[in-house]
Chain A
Amino acid sequence: MVNYILAGLLVVTLASVYRKEGRKGVKAGLQSSARTVLFVTPFIFIGVILAGMVEVILPGELISDWMGEGSGLRGILIGTAVGMLIPGGPYVVVPLIASIMESGAGPGPVAAFFTAWGVVPISRTLIWEVPFLGVAFTAARVIVNLGFPILVGLTTPWIYGLFT
């Protein structure tokens, strides 16, 4: 599904570039892309293997046991910690969230977990963000965003409660 969206965006972008800058523009753009691909490919390869290895050793029960309904701030902090540690994309994390919610995890800890995984995941930040955006911006962004899992973890149950 994502591929279709991206392919569609790509076609539109290529057409717009061609219309604006002609063949030369398309060539310049693609050359810049090629340089990026060459630079990044080794990182991707190593990164996915690293993530795969971590996935094997991360204990699954930790999540269900400690993030139940009513676990309060402790549950939120644990959710935050786990979210920061877990590598992998939405195809790993979202099904995990669905299952732990079914096992009784509360909306607060789960929101903290999901937020932490979204904004301050250790593996993605070191493997992807620093190479592309630099240490200074990444450090500044991480420092500020570190507060978000707790913030969202505390406010989500309240909003969730309004709906249920």
Chain B
Amino acid sequence: MMLGMTLSVSIAVLAMEGWAGVREGFSLGMDTLRTAGVPFFLGIVLAGLIPVLLTASVVTRWMGEGSGLKGVLFGSFAGLLTPGGPYVMFPIAASLFKSGAGVGSMSAFSAARQLIPVNRVIVWELPLIGATFPIARSLASIPAVFIAALLVPLVLKLIIRTRKKPD
């Protein structure tokens, strides 16, 4: 599917911008790979090692189903601190899920990591945008983390229930 998408968009670029556009697109992609390659590799290795440290019992106790507010807070905290891009965040999230983290906690993890990641705010937002807007946006985003932790598990249950219904 991804290959199909890539090919179709590449053809669109060819039609709209010619071969120069395709070359530019490819080189932009390679730039990303160059920037992202090392952190990605490090992130994956990190994600592989985490289950050894954070054993299933630890993750389940602090972030498992039914851990309630504690799980949400731990998930949020972990999310805030996780650096790198999607190539780091998602392997780590998958790893935590596998070790027993609950949906509520991981929803908080994702929301915190995507809305107010400490690394991105300090390294990118503050230097380029200033302090006022990032701080205002971050404060405005805090309720969203808790809304996610509350509602995503409910929606997921609905989805699973709908899937199970015989046609």
Contacts and interface: CB of A to CB of B under 8 A. Distances in A.
Interface size class of chain A, counting residues whose CB lies under 8 Å from the partner chain? 35 or more
A96 B70 CA distance: 37
B139 A159 contact: yes
B40 A2 contact: no
A94 interface: yes
A2 B148 contact: no
Interface string A26-55: 101111111111001001111111111111
Nearest to A29: B49
A6 B26 contact: no
B133 A160 contact: yes
B25 A47 contact: no
A36 B147 contact: no
Given A53-B22, A148-B111, 16 more contacts: A2-B39, A6-B42, A16-B53, A35-B48, A40-B87, A40-B91, A55-B28, A89-B35, A90-B123, A95-B128, A128-B90, A137-B106, A141-B152, A144-B152, A155-B140, A163-B136
Interface of A: 1-3, 5-7, 9-10, 13-14, 16-17, 20-21, 25-26, 28-37, 40, 43-57, 88-91, 94-95, 97-98, 101, 107, 110-111, 114-115, 118-119, 124, 126-129, 131-133, 136-137, 139-141, 143-145, 147-148, 151-152, 155-156, 159-160, 162-164
